[in-house]
């Protein structure tokens, strides 16, 4: 059968380094490919999507850590990758398979062997993705889950061109397309966690960069009973807020000067003097908590509309109004925070 990868441009799956993958990955890399906050998100996602119990799991394109939750400690895990030392160091894996998926996309497993297949931060290296996705469907039990997780970091020489040239949102759509082209999965769903604070002590902690974003696209193999996964609980962490409590807290902002979304103190922020925007007052109060659910959810909301960035909660002391202020990066607007011990003290601010 002609692989349906042909719906993509001819050079879509070309790579800067077309050399032997086995050779490239022969060097051991006992590194973490994401920061610890992002890796916790991956583990949490697996926990929420893969039922606890004696599952048989394939970790596709695996290395020394499969990022599995405690709930899957009893699972039988097969790791397939290109570096035997890394696979043998992986404590979750009980069977190591060294196999080059770009040289041969056929998986060396019987039909319907696995309850779930996971592929973490690796789908961008697949030069024949639809063939591999179709093979994943073959080795999955009907109703079994294929979870593909990725971020925005990679080894450039080995990533396919179409991935290198795509935005994060386009990559989500691309992976969905791989699923659809197999015609073997139910409609894929996606999950995004972006804009969370970087973990303290991380080598980039002082750079102002947020934690590595986590994107996931997942679907169940057709043919099984209706999926029972708790999909509704898949909002990015912190996104659930009781609307009534939120309304009460908004009414009290003038008195508390706390963000109604995260209940952290608002920062007094000096309004910039520009000829372009007229502000009603010389200062505002803004929530600069990077873990605030309003701000965290804003990345996803904006992304869905094709807009870069997020927004923060802002309170206008003159009008008493609650607003949002857009921010392109986590550090945006911070330079105008006014340090003051008592946020209610309005002296010297005009
Ligand atoms: C960025 S690492 C991710 C490893 C692991 N999944 C994780 O979450 O840490 C990419 C992995 O893909 C595997 N890989 C890359 N090209 C491959 C190929 N052609 N066939 C099979 N595995 C491959 C490598 O062995 C490597 O461990």
From 31, 57, 81, the mutation candidate for ligand 1 (largest count of ligand atoms within 8 A of CB) is 81
Residue 11 pLDDT exceeds 80 = yes
Of 47, 55, 173, 66, whose CA–CA distance to 122 is shortest? 66
| pLDDT at 231 > cutoff 50 | no
169 against 316, higher pLDDT: 316
Tell me, in angstroms, the distance from the centre of ligand 1 to residue 85's CA. Answer: 13
Sign of CA dihedral 231, 237, 239, 245: positive
Characterise 238 by phi-psi region: left (phi > 0), alpha (psi -120 to 50), beta (else): left
For residue 13, how far is its CA from the centre of ligand 1 (angstroms)?
A: 16
Please tell me the distance from the alpha carbon of residue 62 to that of residue 39, in angstroms, as a whole number: 14
- Residue range 133-165, pLDDT digits in tens: 999 999 999 999 999 999 998 989 999 999 999
Contact between 145 and 220 under an 8 Å Cβ cutoff? The reply is yes
Model pLDDT, residue 241? 58
Q: What is the mean pLDDT of residues 306-312?
A: 83
pLDDT of amino acid 244: 77
Distance CA 138, CA 60 (A): 14
Instruction: Flag the least confident range among 69-83, 270-284, 335-349.
Output: 335-349
Residue 49 three-state SS? helix
Task: Indicate the top mutation candidate among 46, 61, 68, 80 to test ligand 1's pocket, ranked by most ligand atoms within 8 A of CB.
Answer: 61
Give yes or no for residue 331 having a pLDDT over 70.
yes
pLDDT score at 348: 39
Nearest CA to ligand 1 atom 27: 63
Is pLDDT of 232 > 50? no
| In the predicted structure, residue 234 carries a pLDDT above the cut 70 | no
Angle between helices 168-182 and 129-139 (to 10 degrees): 60
Task: Using the structure block, give the residue that is written with the tokens 């593909």.
Answer: 148
- Which of 82, 109, 135, 149 most suits a substitution to test ligand 1, by most atoms within 8 Å of the C-beta? 82
Mean pLDDT of the chain: 86
């Amino acid at each position: 059968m002609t692989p349906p990868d042909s719906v993509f441009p001819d050079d879509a799956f070309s790579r800067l380094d077309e050399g032997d993958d086995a050779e490239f990955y022969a060097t051991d890399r006992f590194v973490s490919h994401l920061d610890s906050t992002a890796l916790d998100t991956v583990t949490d996602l697996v926990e929420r999507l893969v039922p606890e119990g004696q599952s048989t799991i394939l970790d596709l394109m695996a290395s020394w850590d499969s990022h599995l939750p405690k709930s899957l400690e009893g699972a039988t895990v097969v790791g397939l990758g290109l570096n035997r030392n890394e696979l043998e160091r992986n404590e979750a894996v009980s069977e190591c398979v060294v196999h080059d998926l770009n040289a041969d996309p056929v998986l060396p497993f019987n039909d319907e062997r696995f309850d779930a297949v996971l592929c973490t931060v690796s789908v961008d290296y697949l030069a024949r993705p639809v063939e591999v996705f179709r093979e994943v469907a073959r080795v999955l039990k009907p109703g079994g889950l294929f979870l593909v997780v990725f971020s925005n970091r990679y080894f450039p020489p080995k990533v396919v061109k179409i991935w290198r040239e795509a935005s994060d949102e386009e990559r989500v759509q691309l992976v969905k397309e791989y699923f659809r082209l197999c015609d073997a999965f139910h409609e894929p769903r996606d999950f995004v966690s972006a804009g969370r604070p970087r973990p303290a002590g991380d080598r980039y902690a002082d750079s102002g960069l947020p934690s590595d974003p986590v994107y996931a696209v997942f679907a169940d193999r057709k043919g099984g009973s209706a999926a029972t996964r708790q999909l509704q609980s898949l909002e990015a962490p912190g996104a659930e807020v009781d609307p009534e409590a939120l309304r009460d807290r908004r009414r009290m902002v003038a008195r508390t000067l706390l963000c109604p979304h995260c209940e952290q103190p608002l920062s007094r922020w000096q309004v910039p003097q520009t000829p372009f925007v007229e502000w009603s007052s010389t200062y505002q109060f803004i929530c600069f908590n990077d873990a605030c659910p309003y701000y965290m959810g804003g990345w996803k909301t904006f992304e869905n509309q094709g807009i870069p960035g997020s927004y923060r909660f802002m309170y206008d002391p003159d009008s008493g109004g609650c607003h949002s202020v857009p921010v392109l990066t986590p550090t945006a607007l911070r330079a105008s925070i006014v340090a003051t011990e008592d946020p209610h003290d309005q002296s010297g601010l005009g």
